[in-house]
Structure 1
């Protein structure tokens, strides 16, 4: 039946393209019947997101986590003063906490501890793939490494780890907290040199 339905669908909608697997949340309630009922749209790219947020993280642990984060703000001297002031103010203006799906990133061992190295990804596998692609392909190509430098980077890969990052959004009477001016105007560190349309690589002095 599945194959026949697929053929029929391809004839009815010949312009459709295969997107790949998507995931949602379904429930089977014996009191209603043997069928599965879809509770959340089948739109997520990974099953992990569905597992962590069918109705937002719940239960005693999630409640304890939200309570513990309600007064959280950046207070260490490593953060600029305007960032510390902005985060302290958000505790008062947006005291509510909404936990977002966990994500994963690459961290690098520095003199002061482990520091973020690359962008956050939805799964640990994606984070590992980004690290491998960067060190084995992207960086050697961008910087035109010789063979000895490539070998050094392969060894340096041992100094990276995959971390699990929890995320949250603060909420208040007027809804979710908007992006703070100090975050909107802050220039992010560049991972790679600028690449012009003609292929020219611009190295910052």
Structure 2
């Protein structure tokens, strides 16, 4: 451990002691236990979102759109819609609307990763998604992970994303174990033959240009164990119970319909779904020889002197920019035949 690391960890420990917060100590103990049982990092890959820097709100960058998209273009599409609806619903000033729509036009034509609109900077930001793993596979939720107050299985609305308005501040005090994780990830770069040489080189350059790490709010997902390891089965959810409800709905309704299950297979999945639901806060479900697990998912964003890291040259898109909304005049009139 370098002297710099030791000084930073000592400062984090001192801050934790001075806080005299029993809940924080329990959370730290939980994190220590998890690090022992799940000591390895399983990297899933890059994810993308939108960050905003608005001098009228503060001096730092914050998240506008969750960092969950699999491609940069998906994040650009989200920014396109944000600016279009902002022009449609949030102003009556033709000049303001004109500038917002000019930015929309750019996003319809070019795969840009940053725009300045009305003095506000918008940037497509890149993160990496990973989970911890141990001898029994990926880490499930921890006892101290926050659950919704209402553990209903019937409500279809999920909890709001904790990403929105999250400040990308590398110097935030996240706790002792989280601080140690951030320090350990500062030099993390892609390695091994699974990554092409150009991708590895991009990753090495990123560690030099964006030396600080921000840990995003923890998420939860469903993974299935297969012959080659675990693979994700669904979107990232804000709480363990949201992920459980997603798995229940998938087994009971979505998968049988999507994959056209036979009646016998549909009945087997229905029984598994009801057993999973009846268990309350279970983190695994089995259907025949298939095992599904609720997993704890972590994400990081790199930051440099000018803010969060944008997409890298080798981050791929499966499609390009396109027109997503009707043409709008500066007075707010919509034209559906353009």
Say whether the fold is shared (TM-score over 0.5). Answer: yes
Q: Which has the higher contact order (CA 8 A, sep 6+)?
A: 2
Contact 2:221 2:237 in 1 (8 A): yes
Q: Which runs of 5+ in 2 are unaligned?
A: 1-157, 273-286, 320-338
Equivalent residue number for residue 62 of structure 1: 178
Secondary structure at the counterpart of residue 162 of structure 1: strand
1:89 paired to 2:205: yes
Larger displacement relative to structure 2 (142-151 or 87-96): 142-151
Contact 1:135 1:157 in 2 (8 A): no
CA shift, 1:112, in A, is: 2.3
Distance 2:289 2:267 in 1: 10
Which of 314, 318, 327 is matched with 1:182 structurally? 314
Equivalent residue number for residue 215 of structure 2: 99
Q: How does 1:140-159 map to 2 (within 5 A)?
A: 140-153=256-269, 154=272, 155-156=287-288, 159=291
CA shift, 1:166, in A, is: 1.4
RMSD (Å), alpha carbons: 3.1
Contact 1:108 1:117 in 2 (8 A): yes
Contact 2:225 2:290 in 1 (8 A): no
Q: How does 1:28-177 map to 2 (within 5 A)?
A: 56-153=172-269, 154=272, 155-156=287-288, 159-177=291-309
CA shift, 1:82, in A, is: 4.1
CA shift, 1:83, in A, is: 3.4
CA shift, 1:157, in A, is: 8.7
- Cα deviation, 1:96-138, whole Å, max 9, x if unaligned, reads 1011110111111111222222221111111111122122211
Q: CA, structure 1 residues 143+182, in 2 after alignment: closer, same or farther (shift >3 Å)?
A: same
Distance 1:85 1:152 in 2: 48
Distance 2:238 2:195 in 1: 26
Contact 2:303 2:309 in 1 (8 A): yes
Contact 1:104 1:122 in 2 (8 A): yes
Distance 1:137 1:76 in 2: 40
Distance 1:112 1:71 in 2: 27
CA shift, 1:49, in A, is: 5.0
Secondary structure at the counterpart of residue 182 of structure 1: coil
Distance 1:135 1:163 in 2: 17
Distance 1:120 1:180 in 2: 23
Distance 1:65 1:99 in 2: 9
Q: CA, structure 1 residues 59+143, in 2 after alignment: closer, same or farther (shift >3 Å)?
A: closer
Secondary structure at the counterpart of residue 71 of structure 1: coil
Distance 2:258 2:312 in 1: 34
CA shift, 1:58, in A, is: 2.4
